[in-house]
Amino acid sequence: MTTFSSGATLDSDEPGGPRPRLRITSEPVPTARRGPDPAVGRQVVFEARNVSVNYGEKRALDSINMQIYRNLATALIGPSGCGKSTFLRSLNRMNDSISGFKLGGQVLYHGHDLYDPRANRVEVRRRIGMVFQKPNPFPKSIYDNVAWAPRNLGMKDNMDDRVERALKSAALWDEVKNRLKSSALGLSGGQQQRLCIARAIAIEPDVVLLDEPASALDPIATASIEELIDDLKMRYTIVIVTHNMQQAARVADRTAFFSLGHDEVGTLIEYGETSRLFASPADPRTRAYVTGQFG
C-alpha cells in the first residue's frame, strides 16, 4: 500500500497489479510506535481462553483468545455492537449483575480464574478498576468522591495526600485544589471524567479499564484524557475501548480489532502491536475497518 503525503492511500499489492481504488482517510494514521513488539518479555495480566458471552439465549461474543500485558495500554476497537464493551466489562465482572449473563471459557487474571466461585467479586473490582463512558461522579464533594473508596478500604491515613496524588495523576489537581469541598457535579464533563479517573486510581488498583472514556467529551477534554493514559500506563495496566481509531493509534501499544463474525456474533479478528495492525493488517476485515471502508 502506498501512502501519499496527504494521507491518501492507494492499494497496490493486489495480485494482477494495482487496482485504482483510492481511499482517502480523513487523518493520517500516525506512526508513533514503531519498533519491536512491546509485549515481548512482559508479564501477562489477562489471558482470555476461548471466552464466549451469552445474554440469555443470545450469544454476544465468541472465541476470544488473547493476552493482555502489564503496564501497556491495550485498545479494543471495532464497529459498534461487536462486543468490545462486553468483553471489557467481563474483565472485572461488571456484567455479573446483568440478567442472563453467562461467560464461557476462562478469563485468567495473573493466572487466577476470575470467575472461579471462590473469587471474591469485590476483591476483583478493587484490583481491576473501571472508568465509564459517561462520567458518573457521586453527588458529593470533589474530595469525598476521591476519598470514598479508600476510606472503605481502610486507607484512612494521610487521606489529604492520597487525594492530592490521585488528582495530580489525573491532571485535575491544579483546577480543583481550591475547591475540594465543592460539589463534583459543578465540574465540566472533561473535569468530571478526570475526577472519575482520579477516583479509580486513588485505591491503587492493578488494572484500569476505560470504556470509551472520551466519547462523551469535547476534543480538548478528549486530548487531556489521552495524555493521561500515557502516564497512567507506567503504573497501571490499561485496557481501553474506543470507537475512534485514531485515538487507539495515538494511545495504545497493542490493539485488538473486534467485529461481527459468522452468525452475527462478536469475535476477535486480529490483535497485535498497534502500528503494525494499522499499517499492515493481516486480516482483510481489519484492513477494511482501519482504512475506513466501514464502521
Q: Record the cell numbers describing residue 3, joined without a space.
A: 501512502
Identify the residue among 82, 94, 239, 251 touching other proteins (CB under 8 A). Answer: 94
Verify binding: residue 55, other proteins, rule CB under 8 A.
no
Q: What does the alpha-carbon distance between residue 124 and residue 121 come to, in Å, rounded to a whole number?
A: 5
Q: How far is the CB of 115 from other proteins (least distance, A)?
A: 10
CB atoms within 10 A of CB 98: 12
Largest CA distance in the chain: 70
Q: How far is the CB of 50 from other proteins (least distance, A)?
A: 14
CB-count exposure of residue 142 (10 Å: 0-12, 13-18, 19+): buried
Identify the residue among 17, 35, 41, 111 touching other proteins (CB under 8 A). Answer: 111
Please list every residue from 161 through 190 that binds other proteins, using CB under 8 A: none
Q: What does the alpha-carbon distance between residue 178 and residue 172 come to, in Å, rounded to a whole number?
A: 11
- Spell out the residues 6+ positions from residue 77 whose beta carbon is closer than 8 angstroms to its own: 84, 241, 242, 243, 245, 248, 255, 256, 257, 258, 289
Binding residues for other proteins, total number by CB under 8 A: 43
Verify binding: residue 154, other proteins, rule CB under 8 A.
yes
Identify the residue among 199, 233, 250, 254 touching other proteins (CB under 8 A). Answer: 199
Identify the residue among 10, 44, 216, 260 touching other proteins (CB under 8 A). Answer: 44
- Contact footprint for other proteins (CB under 8 A): 44, 47, 67, 92, 94, 97, 99, 108-112, 114, 116, 118-120, 122-127, 129-130, 132, 134, 136-140, 148-149, 152-154, 196, 199-200, 203, 205-206
